[in-house]
């Protein structure tokens, strides 16, 4: 694909061998003063949107203005996402680890004067523990971080993703060097097998076995082998791949290169969603820098091994996360899946053995090589080893990205790390595994989060989206939402999926309208089964999950809709009415002005009323009301 050279800080020399890499790392560490303050300003999408670039700029200015003595002039580093997005923009001072949250441009002056000059923390910018109410000064003490175990995300937030020197300083590409110089391809595969690494993309297939299979096929009919990094993170409510690619692109590159070495591949592709421009940019820079250092391309680290990477931009199709569809689009075709077998590991890109792994999976590989399979297998639980990154979103206090060892219970993630549900004592359900995952009710809060346990309760690990829902969320509506999503994303190749999703939606719409009958619920079951069994690819095969799990755990809600014509959560438009609480209403007229139907009346400074006959339940008034006087029932 076309790449204008956007690399910065390109080294002008190649690393002739592994020793040179070590030397280079040493030299970088050499010139860095470990005691020098480094101000880290998070430049994850979240923080950027909240204005972190402004903050960084302001910092530079006022530090220059403050006229500190040379040796204490801090280095300002813009890094990838720290995960704690709900508290952005985040500013962290290293090595002390002082943690400032929700920093605004206006706070910068104070930070510089108080912290840098006087060396005291700015109390009001610290994170306060909602439980104790105590301010917490350092990131590692904040529960959100305390209970995490960061393996794949270890560097994110510490390094500048656009500067390979940072990566190398923290030991990047050491695993590659180790693999290339001290291990045979077979040993690498064995290591991955022993580590028990499972695909982080969704199905959780054992990566090592997949690789072995591909190698055998390549031996049977010789020719090129390809590796693909799947960064087409289509699951709504999931952004760990994005964070990884934006914050530590070299980890992905290194993992893929090691994999390529193990598989004897010389060309690789990273398939990134078009909606992730920053990820594309950082990866391109990383590739450029790695090439220039001889960590990618011809004769890597002087070992004679050649491997190069190319970025393909996704074009907007969820189904392209399915590997055969992804291959189709890599070949410039319509992204329709083809039936498996044959699996890509046998006949993939251009009909050759192809290994497609999620970028997070690739991100795990260097660690396995560096620290050893034993160490890795020690993390998590048997059959689900290592850690998994989750994007913890929805109705939870600490929205953000968390990496935890497999096997940790849902409750711990949501309560300890996530800090519980805002305004309510318990969550209602957790949706995992993206649109074709399932909803797990509060009752199953002790379910350990690993591949098999989640599948057992009808959900799935998926790529790691974890959406927390509270009492204000209607499960019928949620299921409907996912169905609608899948209907839009269905490629339409096979009938059960193309027509089936539409058909299921028809049932759901009936429920949402308060129509339908218990009989419909049984029909829906049988239809769902037909779609599951009949569909051509995984997208269709798993598409009924949201319905089936909600039916399983929240059947009463379905009945409430179908029989009592009520939406307990007050979401489904046709079953709710908006009204204004005269107690709370201060007559500011905002709602009246915002109402597209003009069906809200009332004099200034006097309580308003809604003419429900004309109301289209668009919810404008509720969203706009400054005092929250609009109620829904």
The DSSP secondary-structure symbol of 524 reads: H
Using the rule CB under 8 A, which residue among 391, 447, 463, 550 binds another protein? 391
Using the rule CB under 8 A, which residue among 26, 315, 614, 633 binds another protein? 315
Tally of CA atoms within 13 A in the half-sphere of 623 that contains its CB: 7
Closer to another protein at the Cβ: 258 or 478?
Answer: 478
Helix, strand, coil percentages, rounded to 5, for the chain: 45, 15, 40
The DSSP secondary-structure symbol of 314 reads: -
Angle, helices 249-263/185-195, rounded to nearest 10 degrees: 120
Using the rule CB under 8 A, which residue among 300, 615, 620, 629 binds another protein? 620
312 binds another protein (CB under 8 A): yes
Q: How far is CA 323 from CA 208, 317, 358, 552, in A?
A: 17, 12, 10, 30
Using the rule CB under 8 A, which residue among 335, 405, 441, 462 binds another protein? 335
Shortest Å, Cβ 134 to another protein: 24
Shortest Å, Cβ 546 to another protein: 11
Nearest to 190 by CA among 369, 380, 378: 369
Structure-block tokens of residue 440: 């797990």
233 binds another protein (CB under 8 A): yes
Bridge partner residues of 473 (DSSP) = none
587 binds another protein (CB under 8 A): no
The DSSP secondary-structure symbol of 432 reads: E
Whether 103 and 91 have beta carbons less than 8 Å apart is answered as: yes
Q: How far apart are CA 588 and CA 82, in angstroms?
A: 40
Q: How far is CA 415 from CA 126, 131, 405, 553, in A?
A: 21, 11, 16, 21
Q: Which of residues 247-276 bind another protein (CB under 8 A)?
A: 274-276
Q: Which of residues 558-577 bind another protein (CB under 8 A)?
A: none
Closer to another protein at the Cβ: 407 or 534?
Answer: 534
360 binds another protein (CB under 8 A): no
Q: How far apart are CA 523 and CA 61, in angstroms?
A: 66
498 binds another protein (CB under 8 A): yes
Q: How far apart are CA 371 and CA 175, in angstroms?
A: 9
Using the rule CB under 8 A, which residue among 393, 512, 585, 591 binds another protein? 393
Q: Which of residues 66-85 bind another protein (CB under 8 A)?
A: 85
Structure-block tokens of residue 491: 């490629």
Helix (H) or strand (E) holding 91: strand 91-94
Shortest Å, Cβ 615 to another protein: 14
Closer to another protein at the Cβ: 57 or 237?
Answer: 237
Helices (H), 304-450: 323-330, 359-371, 373-378, 410-411
Using the rule CB under 8 A, which residue among 94, 115, 257, 490 binds another protein? 490
Q: Which of residues 98-137 bind another protein (CB under 8 A)?
A: none
Using the rule CB under 8 A, which residue among 77, 242, 291, 352 binds another protein? 242
Helices (H), 108-184: 108-110, 143-146, 164-169, 174-182
First-to-last C-alpha distance (Å) of the chain: 54
Closer to another protein at the Cβ: 119 or 277?
Answer: 277
Q: Cβ of 604: how many Cβ atoms within 10 Å? A: 10
Q: Which stretch binds another protein (CB under 8 A): 108-116, 221-229, 331-339, 359-367?
A: 331-339
Q: Cβ of 353: how many Cβ atoms within 10 Å? A: 30
Closer to another protein at the Cβ: 160 or 473?
Answer: 473
Shortest Å, Cβ 315 to another protein: 3
491 binds another protein (CB under 8 A): yes
Shortest Å, Cβ 303 to another protein: 29
238 binds another protein (CB under 8 A): yes
Q: How far is CA 166 from CA 47, 170, 485, in A?
A: 21, 7, 40
Handedness of CA 406, 409, 414, 415 (dihedral sign): negative
Q: Which of residues 274-303 bind another protein (CB under 8 A)?
A: 274-277
Structure-block tokens of residue 574: 């046709």
Using the rule CB under 8 A, which residue among 481, 511, 554, 558 binds another protein? 481
Q: How far apart are CA 404 and CA 414, in angstroms?
A: 12
Closer to another protein at the Cβ: 306 or 594?
Answer: 594
Helices (H), 296-409: 323-330, 359-371, 373-378
Q: Which stretch binds another protein (CB under 8 A): 58-66, 72-80, 315-323, 355-363?
A: 315-323
Judging by DSSP bridges, how do beta strands 38-42 and 465-469 pair with one another?
Answer: unpaired
531 binds another protein (CB under 8 A): yes
Residue 70 phi/psi, 5-degree rounding, is: -45, -50
596 binds another protein (CB under 8 A): yes
389 binds another protein (CB under 8 A): no
Using the rule CB under 8 A, which residue among 527, 538, 576, 585 binds another protein? 527
Shortest Å, Cβ 368 to another protein: 26
Using the rule CB under 8 A, which residue among 237, 372, 514, 570 binds another protein? 237
Shortest Å, Cβ 307 to another protein: 19
Longest dimension (CA), the chain: 83
Q: Which of residues 43-62 bind another protein (CB under 8 A)?
A: 45-46, 48-50
Q: Which stretch binds another protein (CB under 8 A): 109-117, 177-185, 224-232, 489-497?
A: 489-497
- How many residues line the site for another protein (CB under 8 A)? 88
330 binds another protein (CB under 8 A): yes
Closer to another protein at the Cβ: 318 or 451?
Answer: 318
Using the rule CB under 8 A, which residue among 234, 249, 418, 458 binds another protein? 234
Q: Which stretch binds another protein (CB under 8 A): 137-145, 203-211, 310-318, 411-419?
A: 310-318
Closer to another protein at the Cβ: 152 or 527?
Answer: 527
Q: Which of residues 413-472 bind another protein (CB under 8 A)?
A: 431, 465, 467, 469
Structure-block tokens of residue 511: 């429920």
Structure-block tokens of residue 85: 């997005």
Instruction: Give the strands of the sheet with 429-432, arranged side by side.
Output: 400-405, 387-394, 465-469, 429-432, 438-441
Q: Which stretch binds another protein (CB under 8 A): 34-42, 56-64, 180-188, 500-508?
A: 500-508
Closer to another protein at the Cβ: 55 or 169?
Answer: 55
Q: Cβ of 365: how many Cβ atoms within 10 Å? A: 30
88 binds another protein (CB under 8 A): yes
């Amino acid at each position: 694909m076309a790449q204008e050279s956007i690399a910065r800080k390109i080294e002008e020399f190649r690393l002739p061998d592994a020793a040179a890499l070590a030397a280079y790392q040493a030299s970088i560490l050499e010139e860095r003063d470990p005691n020098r303050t480094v101000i880290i300003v998070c430049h994850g999408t979240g923080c950027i949107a909240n204005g972190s670039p402004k903050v960084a700029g302001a910092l530079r200015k006022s530090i220059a203005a403050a006229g500190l003595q040379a040796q204490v002039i801090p280095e300002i580093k813009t890094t990838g996402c720290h995960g704690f997005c709900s508290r952005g923009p985040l500013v962290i001072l290293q090595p002390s680890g002082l943690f400032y949250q929700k920093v605004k441009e206006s706070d910068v002056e104070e930070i510089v004067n108080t912290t840098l000059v006087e060396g005291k923390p700015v109390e009001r910018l610290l994170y306060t523990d909602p439980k104790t109410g105590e301010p917490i000064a350092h990131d590692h003490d904040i529960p959100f971080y305390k209970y995490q175990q960061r393996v794949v995300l270890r560097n994110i937030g510490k390094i500048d993703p656009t500067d390979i020197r940072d990566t190398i300083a923290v030991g990047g590409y050491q695993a590659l060097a180790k693999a290339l110089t001290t291990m045979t391809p077979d040993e690498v595969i064995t290591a991955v097998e022993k580590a028990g690494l499972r695909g982080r993309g969704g199905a959780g297939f054992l990566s090592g076995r997949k690789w072995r299979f591909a190698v055998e096929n390549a031996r049977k009919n010789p020719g090129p082998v390809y590796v693909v990094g799947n960064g087409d993170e289509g699951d709504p409510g999931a952004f760990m791949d994005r964070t990884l690619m934006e914050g530590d692109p070299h980890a992905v590159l290194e993992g893929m290169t090691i994999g390529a070495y193990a598989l004897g591949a010389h060309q690789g592709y990273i398939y990134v969603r078009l909606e992730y421009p920053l990820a594309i940019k950082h990866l391109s820079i990383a590739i450029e820098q790695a090439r220039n250092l001889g960590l990618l391309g011809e004769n890597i680290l002087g070992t004679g091994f050649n491997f190069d990477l190319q970025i393909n931009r996704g074009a907007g199709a969820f189904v392209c996360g399915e590997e055969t569809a992804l291959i189709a689009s890599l070949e410039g075709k319509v992204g329709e899946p083809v039936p498996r077998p044959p699996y890509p590991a046998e006949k993939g890109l251009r009909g050759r053995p192809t290994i497609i792994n999620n970028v997070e999976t690739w991100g795990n590989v260097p660690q396995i090589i560096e620290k050893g399979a034993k160490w890795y297998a020690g993390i998590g639980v048997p059959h689900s080893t290592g850690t998994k990154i989750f994007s913890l979103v929805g109705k939870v206090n600490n929205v953000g990205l968390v990496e935890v060892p497999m096997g940790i219970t849902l409750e711990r993630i949501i309560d300890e790390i996530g800090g519980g549900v805002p305004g309510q004592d318990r969550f209602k359900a957790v949706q995992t595994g993206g649109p074709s995952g399932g909803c797990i009710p509060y009752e199953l809060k002790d379910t350990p989060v690993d591949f098999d346990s989640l599948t057992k309760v009808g959900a799935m690990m998926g790529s790691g989206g974890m959406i927390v829902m509270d009492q204000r969320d209607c499960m019928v509506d949620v299921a409907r939402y996912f169905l609608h999503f899948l209907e839009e994303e269905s490629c339409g190749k096979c009938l059960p999926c193309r027509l089936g999703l539409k058909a299921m939606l028809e049932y759901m719409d009936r429920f949402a309208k308060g129509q339908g009958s218990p009989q419909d619920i049984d029909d829906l079951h049988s239809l769902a089964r037909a779609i599951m069994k009949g569909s051509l690819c995984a997208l269709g095969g798993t598409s009924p999950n949201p319905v089936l799990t909600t039916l399983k755990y929240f059947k009463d809600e379905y009945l409430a809709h179908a029989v009592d014509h009520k939406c307990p959560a007050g979401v489904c438009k046709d079953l709710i009415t908006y009204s204004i609480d005269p107690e709370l209403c201060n007559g500011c007229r905002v709602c009246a002005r915002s109402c597209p139907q003009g069906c809200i009346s009332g004099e200034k400074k006097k309580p308003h009323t809604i003419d429900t006959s004309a109301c289209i339940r668009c919810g404008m008034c509720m969203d706009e009301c400054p005092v929250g006087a609009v109620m829904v029932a």
